[in-house]
């Protein structure tokens, strides 16, 4: 709880600084926009959080979103059915997750290598699949999902809220959630306590893929277009969001709330840079620095905890 | 400073003391080694042998005491210092790089020209009686050959004192003979060998003198030792202060665990045993006899390759009678059948140290407490509090990370975990190792209560008095097999040792 | 800590002897590919095409050689592609300002090495997991390149470098000469200085190295620094090839390098590695891409196929391990 509090304070501080720095920041339009963007990042990062909780990693989430979105868009255009497209995208996301899980549990590949290979494979397939084309122009009804408002609040925020609550329930109020934390904290001890480790890991990676698929649909609705490179800039911010949010790369600690706060923090920083007319090209750099700092804090926190024993 | 024979000993360690946070590893320990002798260093795990050797090789600095080589006081600030002065240590996990070749390993850090290294390495290996192609990658060599490479490495640094830690643990009888031949040759060259091993039968073969450590202190220093049982008592002997069991099991209940001809992929061969409700059955043997391997195979932590494990009539692994192959065993099945394992390494295998006491206690019982999959924090907390009270776990709150508890309390958390799971059959692997006296008594009390309520316990312990005082009967293992069973009347330290050490 | 290795029947490739002892396992992937493409690909087995494969693979080899060492230390360097792009941008910028090729090269090497050292410090000094640390520096390098160029190419680098790149001493393109020189240096000179052995030791049994009195941390950082240095060196070829500097020119090359290293038989544990194997791995990927090109397979599918190739190589590796 302390960790969450510190992070909220950091968010508040950044918000305060930005309010002072520019008039445009503290306006409803801008704030809602920040929340909308953070929600999108959160959706992608939520499944990823689960994999990191097990001391694993899913590097393929960004590429998964990209290909799932392109697939969904293609199906939507060809069949004129939003529902079918959404199912296709979601299903594909799940499929990728299952494949990742199998590579890790059956082939026993290290998670970062398995998902790294998957990332590039998906990338390549996406470019091939789209053949350099762009698909755009979806129905206004569908676009509401990404760009619309409901009761004055952007729709993605509701989606985010649903999954924040659902995710919170899963991690805190299900035995599955507790087993996930246990596996990350000490996989062998969990195994020797009767936790079906491989089954749980398969499920975790499947969920990561599923959330990527879901995020793809919302993203598609927001962008109103799909092309091969939409997934590329998504992976780094997703990982950054999880790490900033306090989830440890070494497994066993962290939360989805933290990931949301991390997404919020990152989005605020980017928003601030945009409002202050800082060249957008600085963003990867800032994200990279933030990632390194977050992991460093994680490493030091661990070392301190171990020294205390 | 000369010793009894008027000869200055090669090595003298005097009054060495060394503490780590929370534990005094060495307390005024001394060791004297002469040139050309094989000096056995005996003691249980945790007695201080490794720490003493690490002080000798410069990896640790002692808080008190001095070290003399050839009568001259020396300070060993680093492994480099020790090496320069002629001390070489061969650890049980070799210091070899798997994908470098023999010559590169022998000369690691001291490389010269390729041809020169290979020629010299070859020469060293030949003096050790072995002809290995020095361009072979080390990981391709068998364990015995790797050991020879390690010895060659030590010799190439002109070692005068060679420390060998469990050198025969993974060798065949034939390879052990050849090792002893080499050791005798080294002795003839004046090299002193400090030999750490649990295999007491080797003392007769090569030991000149023996030093016994226990709980970080010197216990004995013997010339030409012959009475092995006496040595074991020295290593282990703790006078039994209180009686451990109020009453032993007169009438055991039904068979809870039935193991037939069990073999596992860790080397256990054809083990058969039974445990009945209400009994505490011991699994005795020396280190390396295969007790933990057997326990793990029963629990499903290692793969069963043949035979069968049946708990309460339910086949968990292997094949029994006409039934089909039930699988290789898994902890999931074992836990569901009511088994619980309290492992030897509680910190790495029994607990998630960074998680709270509550989370650890509840983990094994998640399925039983919350069968539908919904976790209720209040129910979990109630269960955890209940178990903390029952087992008298000393912790200010159940939210405390398990890491911060004392050894005894950590062990209780592991046991508590199985209470939550509703286990009726418990496997305890060295349950009181590294635990203070008070907590030990409490754990014996827990075991007693468990079996009086109809549960059954299989207990592994290297402490013979504990085994005799706590168990109703015991199986004895040697070389990964069960070689005998001792009933209540026959259960004594002497009988256990006789079977464990192959005394005819 | 690694437990005492068991003797194995695994055919291995020694770091020291490379090709001369046994054929790297990767050759068993390469040979059938060559045969298939020779049969089905029009113009595959011609000298110009084979030289083309060499040229296309040259940059990859420069990156894959240090990547081999990094992976042998059980690490990874995801920043190589971004650093290479940045070095290319730096070099191109200096060339447009007519500072001379030497200055451009030195600057590229300097920038590359700086990032390499940064990676090393993050991994060894701070203890960050390598993929995260290098993911971070990837972002930083990428960011710097984008900011410097505003996302645009740097053009007008003059004729010196393109002319150099176009030269073909003895009929062999400059790029292939460079790659060969790099391989020779790595394979022989570095082996002589025990650099490669120590990289294997860091991954295989770091404690043994420390106990032997070797400054393992220093060598560990140096392995990453070398990666950055080679990225800077590769900038020479990259800038020469595309006659410009572009901030995202080499994005993704680190993946090809990792793939080449894995296909070449280097693994993520215990210090197993082979520079000769990496050479074969690089050629395998080059042949695969070239052959698929001739068969009119789109470049994006080629990327996907490399991903599949890596998984296949890893599966073979894990199966053989048992």
| C-alpha separations of B307 from B303, B321, B397 in Å | 11, 10, 45
Pick from C21, C211, C322 the residue to mutate for testing the B interface (most B CBs within 10 Å): C211
pLDDT band at A101 (very low <50, low <70, confident <90, very high): very high
Three-state SS at C258: helix
Query: What local confidence, expressed as pLDDT, does residue A38 receive?
Result: 94
Which C residues 142-181 touch B at CB under 8 Å?
Answer: none
- pLDDT in the model for residue B237: 61
Q: Which of B108, B140, B143 sits opposite C4 (nearest CB)?
A: B143
Residue C312 lies in a domain: yes
- Residue B33 has phi, psi (to 5 degrees) of -130, 135
Burial A16-41 (b: 16+ CB within 10 A, else e): eebeeeeeebeeeebeeebbbbbbbb
What residues of chain C score a pLDDT lower than 50?
A: 1-22
Q: Going by DSSP bridges, is the β-strand pair B209-214/B217-223 parallel, antiparallel, or unpaired?
A: antiparallel
Could you give the CA distance from residue B485 to residue B174 in angstroms, rounded to a whole number? 29
Question: Residues C10, C320: contact at Cβ < 8 Å?
Answer: yes
**pLDDT value for C48:** 87
- Position A221 confidence tier, pLDDT thresholds 50, 70, 90: very high
Question: Of C176, C132, C145, which Cα lies nearest the Cα of C282?
Answer: C176
Q: Which residue, among B356, B366, B367, B403, would best test binding to A if mutated, counting the most A CBs under 10 Å from its CB?
A: B366
> How distant is the Cα of A155 from the closest Cα of chain C, in angstroms?
31
Give the count of alpha carbons within 13 A of C140, CB side only.
20
Q: Determine contact: C32 vs chain B, CB below 8 A.
A: no
Please say if the pLDDT value at position A206 is more than 70: yes
CATH number at residue C52: 1.10.3470
Look at residues C36, C84, C89, C41 and name the one whose alpha carbon lies nearest to residue C60: C84
User: Are the CB atoms for C246 and C89 separated by under 8 Å?
Assistant: yes
Strand partners, B339: B425
Cβ separation of C201 and B94 shorter than 8 Å? no
**Number of folded domains in chain C?**
1
What number of CA atoms fall less than 13 Å from residue A129's CA on the CB side?
Answer: 22
Tokens of B75: 């300070």
Q: Write out chain A residues lying below 8 Å of B351, CB-based.
A: 186, 189
User: Which of C209, C213, C270 has the CB atom closest to B99's CB atom?
Assistant: C270
C122 close to C78: Cβ distance less than 8 angstroms:
no
Are the Cβ atoms of B97 and C1 closer than 8 angstroms?
no
Segments forming the whole domain that contains residue C224: 6-35+44-321
| Residue the block writes with tokens 């404690």 | C207
DSSP state of B261: E
Closest partner CB to C15 (pick from B100, B108, B140): B100
Residue among C139, C151, C299 minimizing CB distance to A236: C139
What is the average per-residue pLDDT within A230-235? 89
Query: What letters, b where the CB count within 10 A reaches 16 and e where it falls short, cover C35-64?
Result: eebeeebeebeeeebebbbbbbbbbbbbbb
Q: What is the pLDDT of residues C122-135, one digit of tens each?
A: 999 999 999 889 99
Is the Cβ–Cβ distance between B212 and B235 less than 8 Å?
yes
Is residue A72 within 8 angstroms of chain C, CB to CB?
A: no
- Nearest to residue A257, comparing CAs of A269, A245, A270? A245
* Angstrom distance (rounded) from CA B78 to CA B56: 10
Q: Are B347 and B355 within 8 A, CB to CB?
A: no
Which segments within chain A are labelled E, that is strand? 135-136, 149-150, 153-154, 225-226
Q: Is the dihedral angle over the CA atoms B48, B53, B59, B61 positive or is it negative? A: positive
Q: CB within 8 A of C312, min separation 6: which ones?
A: C29
Are the C-beta atoms of A150 and A162 separated by less than 8 Å? no
Q: For B168, list phi and psi in degrees, rounded to 5.
A: -105, 10
Give domain limits for chain A: 2-308
Angle between helix B493-500 and helix B228-236 axes, rounded to 10 deg? 120
Instruction: Mark yes or no for CB contact A192/B348 under 8 Å.
Output: no
Per CB-CB distance under 8 Å, the chain B contacts of C317 are none
Q: At what angle do helices A111-130 and C299-321 cross, to 10 degrees?
A: 150
Tell me how close the Cα of C198 comes to any Cα of chain B, in angstroms. Answer: 9
- A251 inside 8 A of chain B by CB: no
Q: What is the structure's pLDDT at A282?
A: 84
Give residues with Cβ within 8 angstroms of B256, minimum separation 6: B275, B276, B277, B311, B312, B424, B425, B456
Which among B376, B404, B417 has the least Cβ separation from residue A193?
B417
3 state DSSP class of B355: coil
Comparing A212 with B76, which gets the higher pLDDT? A212
Quick check: is C151 in a domain? yes
Q: Closest approach of chain B CAs to the CA of C135, in angstroms? A: 27
pLDDT of residue C24: 58
- Any C CB within 8 A of A278 CB: no
Pairing relationship of beta strands A149-150 and A153-154 according to DSSP bridges: antiparallel
The Cα–Cα gap between A222 and A146 comes to 4
CA-based R_g, chain C, Å: 19
Which tokens is C254 given? 């680190």
Backbone angles phi, psi at C305, to 5 degrees: -70, -30
Q: Which B residues, 388 through 427, put their C-beta within 8 Å of a C-beta on chain A?
A: 401, 403-404, 417, 421
Q: Does residue A254 contact residue A247 with C-beta atoms inside 8 Å?
A: yes
Is B403's CB within 8 Å of A306's CB?
yes
Interface B-C, measured as beta-carbon pairs within 8 A, has a size of 94
Looking at beta carbons, which residues of chain B come within 8 Å of A193?
A: 331, 335, 363-364, 417, 421
By Cβ distance, the residue of B83, B98, B110 closest to C271 is B98
How many of the other CB atoms lie within 10 Å of CB of B4? 9
Written as six digits, the tokens of B226 are 């012959």
Q: What is the pTM of this model?
A: 0.85
CA distance B57 to chain A (A): 25
Start-to-end C-alpha separation, chain C: 20
| Axis-axis angle for helices A28-53, A61-79 (nearest 10) | 110
Return per-residue pLDDT of chain B as tens, 504 residues: 455 566 788 888 888 898 887 677 888 899 999 999 999 998 876 678 888 888 888 888 888 888 988 888 888 888 888 888 889 988 877 889 999 999 999 999 888 888 899 999 999 888 888 888 888 899 888 888 899 899 999 888 888 999 998 888 778 788 888 889 889 999 998 999 999 987 777 888 888 999 988 878 888 888 877 777 677 777 766 554 555 666 677 788 889 999 999 999 988 989 999 999 999 999 998 877 889 999 999 999 999 999 999 998 888 888 877 777 888 889 999 999 999 999 999 989 999 999 999 999 999 999 999 999 999 999 999 999 999 999 999 999 999 999 999 888 999 999 999 999 999 999 999 998 878 777 888 899 899 999 999 999 999 998 888 888 899 999 999 888 999 999 988 888 888 888 887 653
Q: What is the pLDDT of residues A8-25, one digit of tens each?
A: 888 888 889 888 888 888
State CA B490 to chain mean position distance.
26
- Look at residue C1 and tell me if it is in a domain: no
Helices (H), B355-471: 357-363, 366-369, 377-391, 407-421, 437-452, 464-470
The Cα of C224 is separated from the nearest Cα of chain B by a number of Å equal to 20
Question: Would you state the structure tokens that stand for residue B54, as one six-digit string?
Answer: 């690490």
Q: Do A182 and B370 touch (CB under 8 A)?
A: no
Decide if B381 touches A, using CB distance below 8 A: no
Distance from CA of A192 to the nearest CA of B (A): 6
In chain B, what residues touch A190 (CB-CB under 8 Å)?
352, 363
Shortest Cα distance, chain C CAs vs residue B347, angstroms: 17
> Can you tell me the distance from the alpha carbon of A107 to that of A125, in angstroms, rounded to the nearest whole number?
22
* Per-residue pLDDT, C4: 34
Phi-psi region of C239 (alpha: psi -120 to 50; beta: other; left: phi over 0): alpha
CB contact under 8 A, A189 and B364: no
Mean pLDDT of all residues in A87-112:
93
Q: Residue holding tokens 């009568």?
A: B71
Q: Do C142 and A285 touch (CB under 8 A)?
A: yes
Could you count the other beta carbons within 10 Å of the beta carbon of residue C121?
16
Residue with tokens 């503290």: A26
Nearest 5°: phi and psi at B430?
55, 60
List the one residue out of C251, C92, C135, C231 whose CA is nearest residue A285: C135
Report the neighbours of B using a cutoff of 3 or more CB pairs below 8 angstroms. A, C
Nearest-5° Cα angle at B285, B284 to B286? 140
DSSP code for B347 = I
pLDDT value of residue C321: 62
Closest to B364 (Cβ–Cβ): which among A193, A252, A305? A193
* Contact criterion met (CB below 8 Å) for C219 and C286: no
Residue-wise pLDDT for C84-104, tens only, equals 999 999 999 999 988 888 999
- A284/C142 Cβ within 8 A: yes
- Alpha carbon distance B102, B133 (integer Å): 8
A309–B404 C-beta distance less than 8 A:
yes
Are A189 and B352 in contact (CB < 8 Å)? yes
What distances in angstroms separate CA B300 from CA A191, B311, B312, B329, B347, one per listed residue? 10, 12, 16, 4, 20
What is the structure's pLDDT at B3?
53
Phi, psi of C248 (to 5 degrees): -120, 20
**Structure tokens belonging to residue B307:** 């035979």
> Distance between CA atoms of C260 and C57, rounded to whole angstroms?
10
| C107 within some domain | yes
3-state class (DSSP) for residue B255 = strand
Domain membership of residue C190 (yes or no) is yes
A131 touches chain C (CB under 8 A): yes
Tell me the shortest Cα–Cα distance from A179 to chain B, in angstroms: 7
Q: Do B316 and B309 contact (CB within 8 A), yes or no?
A: yes
Helix (H) or strand (E) holding B194: strand B192-196
A106 touches C at CB < 8 Å: no
At C10 the pLDDT is: 28
pLDDT at C21: 42
Q: Quote the pLDDT of residue A60.
A: 95
CB neighbours of residue C231 within 10 Å: 37
Q: pLDDT value at position C14? A: 40
How far is the C-alpha of B125 from the C-alpha of B138, rounded, in Å?
14
Highest CATH level, class, for A2-308: mainly alpha
Q: What pLDDT shows up at residue C11?
A: 30
CB of B65 closer than 8 Å to CB of B15? yes
Rounded alpha-carbon distances, angstroms, from residue A283 to B85, B114, C71, C145, C253: 57, 51, 29, 12, 21
Are the beta carbons of A285 and C311 separated by less than 8 Å?
A: no
Establish if A83 touches chain B: CB-CB under 8 angstroms.
Answer: no
Q: Are A254 and A52 in contact (CB under 8 A)?
A: yes
If phi > 0 it is left, if psi is from -120 to 50 it is alpha, else beta; for residue A257 that is: alpha
């Amino acid at each position: 709880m302390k960790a969450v509090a510190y992070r909220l304070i950091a968010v508040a501080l950044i918000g305060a600084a930005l309010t002072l720095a520019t008039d445009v920041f503290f306006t409803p339009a801008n704030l809602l926009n920040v929340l909308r963007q953070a929600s999108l990042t959160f959706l992608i990062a939520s499944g990823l959080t689960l994999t990191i909780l097990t001391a694993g990693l899913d590097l393929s989430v960004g590429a998964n979103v990209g290909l799932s979105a392109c697939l969904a868009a293609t199906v939507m255009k060809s069949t004129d059915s939003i529902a079918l497209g959404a199912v296709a995208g979601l299903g594909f996301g799940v499929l990728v997750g299952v494949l990742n899980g199998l590579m890790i549990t059956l082939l026993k590949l290290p998670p970062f290598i398995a998902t790294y290979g998957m990332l590039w494979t998906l990338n390549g397939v996406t470019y091939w699949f789209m053949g350099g084309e762009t698909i755009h122009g979806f129905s206004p009804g569908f676009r509401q999902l990404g760009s619309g408002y409901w009761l004055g609040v952007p729709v993605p925020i509701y989606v985010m809220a649903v999954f924040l609550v659902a995710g919170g329930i899963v991690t805190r109020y299900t035995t599955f959630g507790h087993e996930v934390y246990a596996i990350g904290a000490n996989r062998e001890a969990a195994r020797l306590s009767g936790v079906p480790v491989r089954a749980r890991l398969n499920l975790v990676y499947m969920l990561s893929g599923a959330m990527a698929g879901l995020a793809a649909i919302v993203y598609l609705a927001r962008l109103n277009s799909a092309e091969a490179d939409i997934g590329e800039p998504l992976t780094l911010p997703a990982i950054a969001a999880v790490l900033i949010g306090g989830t440890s790369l070494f497994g066993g600690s962290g939360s989805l709330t933290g990931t949301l706060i991390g997404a919020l923090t990152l989005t605020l920083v980017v928003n601030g840079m945009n409002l202050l007319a800082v060249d957008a090209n600085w963003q990867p750099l800032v994200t990279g620095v933030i990632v390194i700092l977050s992991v460093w804090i994680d490493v030091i926190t661990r070392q301190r905890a171990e020294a205390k024993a | 400073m000369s010793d009894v024979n008027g000869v200055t000993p090669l090595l003298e360690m005097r009054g060495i003391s060394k503490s780590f946070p929370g534990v005094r590893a060495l307390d005024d320990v001394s060791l004297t080694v002469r040139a050309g002798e094989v000096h056995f260093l005996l003691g249980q795990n945790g007695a201080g042998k490794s720490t003493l050797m690490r002080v000798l090789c410069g990896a640790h600095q002692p808080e008190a005491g001095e070290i003399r080589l050839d009568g001259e006081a020396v300070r060993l600030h680093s492994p480099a210092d020790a090496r320069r002065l002629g001390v070489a240590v061969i650890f049980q996990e070799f210091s070899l790089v798997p994908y470098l070749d023999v010559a590169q390993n022998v000369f690691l850090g001291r490389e010269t020209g390729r041809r020169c290294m290979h020629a010299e390495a070859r020469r060293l290996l030949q003096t050790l009686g072995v002809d290995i192609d020095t361009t072979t990658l080390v990981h391709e060599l068998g364990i015995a050959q790797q050991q020879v490479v390690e010895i060659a490495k030590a010799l190439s640094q002109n070692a005068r004192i060679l420390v060998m830690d469990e050198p025969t643990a993974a060798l065949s009888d034939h390879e052990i003979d050849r090792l002893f031949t080499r050791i005798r040759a080294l002795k003839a060259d004046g090299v002193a060998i400090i030999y750490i091993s649990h295999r007491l039968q080797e003392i007769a073969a090569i030991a000149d003198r023996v030093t016994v450590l226990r709980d970080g202190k010197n216990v004995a220093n013997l010339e030409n030792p012959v009475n092995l049982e006496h040595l074991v008592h020295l290593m282990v002997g703790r006078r039994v202060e209180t009686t451990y069991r109020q009453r032993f099991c007169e009438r055991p209940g039904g068979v809870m665990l039935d193991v037939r001809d069990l073999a596992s992929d860790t080397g256990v061969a054809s083990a058969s045993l039974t445990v009945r409700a209400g009994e505490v059955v011991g699994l005795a043997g020396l280190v390396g006899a295969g007790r933990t391997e057997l326990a793990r195979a029963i629990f499903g932590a290692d793969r069963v390759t043949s035979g069968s494990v049946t708990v309460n009539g339910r086949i968990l692994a292997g094949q029994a009678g006409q039934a089909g192959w039930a699988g290789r065993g898994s902890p999931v099945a074992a836990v569901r059948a009511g088994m619980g394992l309290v492992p030897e390494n509680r910190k790495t295998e029994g607990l998630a140290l960074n998680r709270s006491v509550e989370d650890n206690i509840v983990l094994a019982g998640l399925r039983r407490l919350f069968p539908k999959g919904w976790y209720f924090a209040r129910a979990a907390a109630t269960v955890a509090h209940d178990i903390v009270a029952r087992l008298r776990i000393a912790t200010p709150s159940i939210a405390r990370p398990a890491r911060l508890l004392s050894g005894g309390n950590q062990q209780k958390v592991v046991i508590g975990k199985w209470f939550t799971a509703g286990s009726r059959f418990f496997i305890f692997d060295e349950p009181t190792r590294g635990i203070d006296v008070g907590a030990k008594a409490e754990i014996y009390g827990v075991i007693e209560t468990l079996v009086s309520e109809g549960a059954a316990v299989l207990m592994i312990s290297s402490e013979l008095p504990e085994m005799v005082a706590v168990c109703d009967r015991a199986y004895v293992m040697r070389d990964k097999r069960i070689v005998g069973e001792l009933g209540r009347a026959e259960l004594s330290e002497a009988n256990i040792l006789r079977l464990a050490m192959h005394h005819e | 800590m690694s437990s005492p290795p068991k003797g194995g029947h695994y055919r291995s490739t020694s770091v020291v002897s490379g090709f001369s002892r046994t054929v790297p396992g990767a050759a068993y992937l390469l040979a059938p590919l060559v045969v298939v493409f020779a049969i089905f690909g029009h113009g595959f087995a011609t000298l110009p095409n084979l030289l083309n494969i060499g040229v296309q693979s040259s940059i990859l080899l420069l990156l894959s050689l240090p990547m081999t060492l990094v992976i042998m230390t059980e690490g990874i360097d995801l920043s190589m592609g971004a650093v290479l792009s940045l070095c290319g941008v730096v070099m191109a910028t200096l060339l447009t300002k007519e500072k001379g090729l030497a200055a451009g090269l030195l600057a590229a090497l300097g920038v590359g090495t700086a990032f390499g050292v940064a990676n090393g410090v993050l991994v060894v000094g701070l203890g960050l997991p390598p993929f995260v640390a290098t993911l971070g520096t990837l972002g930083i390098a990428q960011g710097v390149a984008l900011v410097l160029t505003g996302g645009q190419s740097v053009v007008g680098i003059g004729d010196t470098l393109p002319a150099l790149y176009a030269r073909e001493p003895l009929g062999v393109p400059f790029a292939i000469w460079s790659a060969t020189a790099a391989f020779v240096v790595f394979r022989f000179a570095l082996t002589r200085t025990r650099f490669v052995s120590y990289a294997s030791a860091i991954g295989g049994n770091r404690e043994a190295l420390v106990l032997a009195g070797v400054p393992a941390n220093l060598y560990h950082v140096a392995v990453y620094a070398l990666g950055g240095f080679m990225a800077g060196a590769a900038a020479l070829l990259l800038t020469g090839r595309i006659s410009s500097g572009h901030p995202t020119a080499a994005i993704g090359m680190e993946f090809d390098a990792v793939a080449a290293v894995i296909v070449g038989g280097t693994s993520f544990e215990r210090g197993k590695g082979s520079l000769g194997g990496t050479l074969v791995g690089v050629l395998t990927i080059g042949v695969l891409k070239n052959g698929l090109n001739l068969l009119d397979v789109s470049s994006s599918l080629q990327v996907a196929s490399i991903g599949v190739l890596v998984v296949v190589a890893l599966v073979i590796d894990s199966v053989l391990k048992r």
